[in-house]
Structures are given as structure tokens and as C-alpha cells.
Structure 1
């Protein structure tokens, strides 16, 4: 009977514990939202939303191409170039970090833990924070955006690459080692053929993310389409805001479709 009562009491204790957690979370959310000026936010958000949607439905088509000066096409191409260069830099530089952090590529846990810590440290800082630092170091422009995306993506891609390396089949590696192959031959003929499709797939996925990030970095002066977007928002030129947002949507949609197709073919 004691065992039966114990089994009955366990679900009751779990239910009571979950109920307390839900109540505490509800009280926390209520307390957090109670200090926010909801009415002011609703009015401001409603006005801005109406203005942006008005600009999207009545875009400034003349801004698509201007013979003299910056236009939508140049801004989108600049954003695309920033994302490509940032992804290329990170895709190359993260490979040594990935092998450094992979558990099955090092004999000691200390070496692997150090590599994982380095990748975690690199990706701790968001792209915007890195862009602000590089803007101070090299000045505003596309170069700062490339450096920010490249450095931040090293941490993200390095983590994904190291997980891909850890999941590889060690059979071919052990077979080549048994036949007397050196480490370079093992890497070239046993490791890379297994991990390369995953590397390419993750790189393309990261490129999709960098396209969106590059559009945002321009808002703080790191080049790309974000720079004319923030100027249009500041001057309340909603027609120009509308055409810029449409351009970003079209570019991101096309890039996502192409990248998804390539990743399906690779995998």
C-alpha cells in the first residue's frame, strides 16, 4: 500500500510544482508589462505601420535606378557583396578552429575544450557590436560590415563544422592510418570527402543569415542597403522606405530559394 500511495503522490507533486511555475511566470509577465506605456506604444506603432504600408503600396519606383548617385540596385548589390565576402572569409578561417574543437581530432580534452571556448568567445558578440567596433577601427563603410560578419560567422560556422567533424565515420581514417598514410593523406582522402558536403551546406545556410544581417548593419553605418533605409526613415520618406523594403524582400526570397536548392543538391 505504501508503494501505491507513493506512486499516486508523485504525479500530484509534479502537477503542483508545474502549477507553481506557471503562476510565477504569469506574475512575472504581468509585472513586466505593467510598467510599459502600452497605449503610447499602440498609437506610435499604429501610425508608423500605416505609413510603412502606405509606402509599400505606393513605392518610389524612380529610386530603383538612378544614373547619378546611390540607388536601390547599388545598395542591394553592396549588401550582397558584404554577405558574400563575410561568408567566404569565415568559411575559410573557421576550418582550423573546427578541427581544433572537434573531440575526435584531438587526443586531450584540454585542447578540445580550449577550441570550443574560443569559438564560444568569438560568437558571444553580436554582429552589430562587432560592426560598431570595426567602424571605430577602420571607419564607416562596407569594409567594416565585411569584417563584422566574417568574424562573427567564424564562431557560428566553426561550431557547426566541429559537430560535422565529430559525426564522421572513423573507419576510413583508421584504415588509412593502418596502411601507413600520414595525417595529411588521412585528412585529404578520409576526412574531407565525408565532411565537405556538410561544410558547404552550413556555409550556404550561413550566407542566407548574413544577407539579412548585412541589410541591418547598414543602419549603423557598415554599408549596404541599410544606410539609405535609415536615412529614408529619418526623413519620413515612406515611399522610398517602401521600395527599399520591397527590394530587400525580393533579394532575400531569391537568395533563400537558390540556397535551398543548392543545399538539397549537395546533401
Structure 2
């Protein structure tokens, strides 16, 4: 490499570094730092005080809304949403796999649909479904169920494209029909990754379900935002503790299962 090439490469690196720094400076210049300094410490200390002095009476209340009911509702939203997305992603994933789909048109159109679905964040889909079916857990289930199809379909399609087709070709050579060759040569190779991806998506959906309640899609988010709005820090503390415990336990269980699948 000549001296001129080295100098040109160094200049490019310096220019890229300067441009990135300017972008960061421009982005942070719009943040009201003084306002953050005045309020952040107070709010954070109040939340921490609420966590260490939680409203234990909210954990279970037979007469009305309580923490256990809202956590179970959040879990149900995540489970149903994951189940729906897993079912819907199966046909799209095989139609998007180049080694399974029969035509390039099928592959291209399926991948385009999956990419289109991935464009929309869960909150945007939840807002759309709230307008369509009304506020409540059903809107959250639909948002997570439809929104996860794009990611699951893409991951499963890539897994299908990586399978060994020699077993399928051997069954076809011995006179096996397409359905049997698919069920006995393709599906067993895909199932471990399929369940692993579904469990991972359940972890993502569980976190998303805790947020969707903020906009009226059911779950623990609704009582959390209400407690924050009225500055009931003890209620905020017990809700955050409940979310932390639920997510931590279910993440550990899901990770343990996935480690045995793959």
C-alpha cells in the first residue's frame, strides 16, 4: 500500500468519525438537559422508595383489580399472541424458503409479506387493533400475534433453507409421496429450531405485553401508567417488582428449554 493510499484511508476514517460525532452532538442538542437534571433524580428516588416500600395490599384483592390478575392477563396476552404468530408463520416460512417453494414468485412474494409485517412496531399494531376491535386484551393479542409473524417467518425460513435435503431426495427416489417426504424428511429437521424461535419470541412478547397496556391493549401496563400519573409510588413499586419477578422466572425457564432444543 502506497503512502497516498494510506493517507487517503486515514482521511476517510477521520471524516467518518467527525460526521458521526456531529450527528451525536446534533441529536443530544435537542434534549432538555436542565429539565432532566431537575426531575430525574426526584422521580428515580421516589420509584426506588416505592420498590423498597411496596404496596403489598395490591398483590391480591378478591374484591377488585390486583397485581396477580393483571400479571396473569399479561402472561395470557403473550402466550396467545405467540401461539397465533407461530401458527401463521408456518405456511409463510415454507413458502419463503428457496429450497422448498416451487417458484421464485412464491419466494419473493412471501418474503415481501414478511418484510412488510416487520415494518410495524407492536405499539403501532396495537393502536390499529384498538381502533378496530376496541381497547382491551384482545387488541393486544392480535397486535402481538400479527406483529411476530414477520420475525418468526423469516427465522424459520432461514432454518428451512439450511436443512439437509438428502433424506427427502432418498424418500422421493423410493416412491414416497410429497406429503410423507415432507413430514418425515423436512419437519423433523426444522422442529427444534422452530420451538426455539417460538420460545424466544414468547420472551419478546412478554416484555411487549407489559407495555401495550399503557395504550389500552390490556395487561399490567394500564395500572402501571395510572399509578405513575397519580404518583402512587408504592403501587408503582409493587407493580415493577411483579414485572421483574415474572419476566425473570419465565426467561430462565424459556432459556433452559431452548438450551435443550438446539
- TM class by shorter-chain length? over 0.9
2:28 to 10, 33, 38: 33
- 1:266 CA drift (Å): 1.4
Following TM superposition, where does structure 1 have runs of at least 4 consecutive aligned residues deviating by more than 6 angstroms? none
Q: Is 1:114 aligned to residue 109 of structure 2?
A: yes
- The residue that corresponds to 2:46 in the other structure is 51
Q: Is 1:128 aligned to residue 123 of structure 2?
A: yes
Q: Is 1:194 aligned to residue 189 of structure 2?
A: yes
Q: Distance in 1 between matches of 2:181 and 2:48?
A: 57
Q: Distance in 1 between matches of 2:204 and 2:27?
A: 31
Deviations 1:74-112 (A, max 9, x none): 010000000000001111111000011111112332221
1:247 to 230, 242, 245: 242
Aligned length: 262
- 1:24 CA drift (Å): 1.4
- The residue that corresponds to 2:81 in the other structure is 86
- 1:52 CA drift (Å): 0.8
Q: Distance in 2 between matches of 1:10 and 1:102?
A: 43
Q: Is 1:211 aligned to residue 176 of structure 2?
A: no
Q: Distance in 2 between matches of 1:105 and 1:12?
A: 50
- Aligned ranges for residues 50-199 of structure 1 at < 5 Å? 50-199=45-194
1:260 to 244, 251, 255: 255
- Tell me, what secondary structure is at the counterpart of 1:191? helix
Q: Distance in 1 between matches of 2:94 and 2:6?
A: 46
Q: Give ranges in structure 1 of 5+ residues lacking alignment.
A: 1-5
Alpha-carbon RMSD across the aligned residues, in angstroms, is: 1.1
Q: Distance in 2 between matches of 1:57 and 1:74?
A: 22
Q: Distance in 2 between matches of 1:193 and 1:34?
A: 54
- The residue that corresponds to 1:233 in the other structure is 228
Q: Give ranges in structure 2 of 5+ residues lacking alignment.
A: none
The verdict on how the C-alpha distance between 1:27 and 1:47 changes in structure 2, with shifts beyond 3 A counting, is same
- 1:44 CA drift (Å): 1.9
Normalized against structure 1, the TM-score is what?
0.95
Instruction: Pick which of 99-108 and 74-83 moved more.
Output: 99-108
